[in-house]
Amino acid sequence: MRSLDVEVTESARLYGDTHVLWMTRPPHLANATPGQFVMVYIGEHTDPLLGRAFSIHRTREGEQGPEFAVLFDVVGRGTEWLSRREPGDAVRVVGPLGRGFEPRERVQRMLLVGGGIGCAPLIWLADRLIEEGREVTLLLGGRTEAQIFPAAQLPPAVELIATTEDGSLGTRGLVTKPFEELLPWSDQVFACGPNRMFEAMHDVARRSGLRKPIQALLEGTMACGMGICYSCAVFPRRGGVRLICTDGPMFDLRDLY
């Protein structure tokens, strides 16, 4: 949870309207796991005031040492500012934050389901799982082809299945249908995307009667990202209240719905 300036090493539009920002990785981020996030602070002044939460998208060895990346669509002032950072610029970050994905040991068939920009943390998870010698099927959904993470950027061993709402890439429709077909094959499911995708997936999983655990990475309005502002509440169906930033962002869907 240290606050630290990191240096931008690469800033690029990776596909469609989606940007990737690579930064030097400070030592305390070395133990981060896929699904954890960082708060990135916008500008040096008080407007915009608050940090933005980003999943760690990937890590790599750069020329000057280890680097990490965040992946984002430009949707507001914060992401607009971030998209204009250039190599050499400083950006302040705090992290790693939250509880990430928890792949079980000794299981082989991993199904990763991403909606839109929700693919960001799943790419790093896929990298890791492939390194560990597991089978990875990555199911990505978007409105159109420009929203689908490019296959060429993935480890070759990852099987990519795409769905688009306009049919411009892969099957026309939502991820729900291929998810239903792949669920019996999978040993464990990891998901990141909008809430309505989680709801649909939970519904499919419940109807299947297969009792497969689905680890979902939730998103919510955050002011601090570290459990002090209480903005990012989530209310499990069985009662109580949890915070996305510290109790999650990873939740088992059965604990929520």
Partner 1 sequence: MAHVDLSVTLAAGQKQELRLRNPVMVASGTFSNGIEFAKRFDVDELGAIVSKGTTLRPRRGNPVPRTVETPSGMINSIGFQNVGVGTLVSEVAPVWARWQAPVLVNIMGETLAEYGQLAQRLDGVPGVAGLEVNISCPNVEAGGLEFGQDPLLAADVTREVRRHTALPMSVKVTPGVTDLRPIVAAVSDAGADAITVMNTVPAMAIDVRARRPVLATAFGGLSGPAVKPIALRLVYLAASVTNLPILAAGGVSSGLDAVEFLMAGASAIQVGTATFRDPQAPWKVLAELREWCEREGVSSIGEIVGVARRRD
**Smallest gap, in angstroms, from Cβ of residue 147 to partner 1?**
20
Cα–Cα distance, 116 to 128 (Å, whole number): 21
Q: Single out the segment in contact with partner 1 by CB under 8 A; choices: 62-70, 161-169, 205-213, 220-228.
A: 220-228
Question: Could you say which residues in the range 79-118 bind partner 1, by CB under 8 A?
Answer: 92, 94
78 or 170: CB nearest partner 1 = 78
**Phi and psi angles of residue 125, each rounded to the nearest 5 degrees, phi first:** -60, -45
**Residue 1 binds partner 1, judged by CB under 8 A:** yes
Opening angle at CA 218, ends 217 and 222, nearest 5: 130
**Smallest gap, in angstroms, from Cβ of residue 75 to partner 1?**
12
Cα–Cα distance, 149 to 193 (Å, whole number): 14
53 or 204: CB nearest partner 1 = 53
- Pairing of the two strands 58-62 and 65-73: antiparallel
210 or 228: CB nearest partner 1 = 228
Q: Fill in the per-residue mask, 222 to 251: x = in contact with partner 1 (CB under 8 A), - = not in contact.
A: -xx-xxxxxxxxxx----xx----x-----
Q: Where does residue 98 fall: left (phi above 0), alpha (psi -120 to 50 degrees), or beta otherwise?
A: left
129 or 222: CB nearest partner 1 = 222
- Pairing of the two strands 214-217 and 52-55: unpaired
DSSP characters over 149-182: PPGGGS-TTSEEEEEETTSSSSEES-THHHHHHH
Number of residues engaging partner 1 in binding (CB under 8 A):
29
User: What residues make contact with partner 1 under the rule CB under 8 A?
Assistant: 1-3, 41, 46-51, 92, 94, 220-221, 223-224, 226-235, 240-241, 246
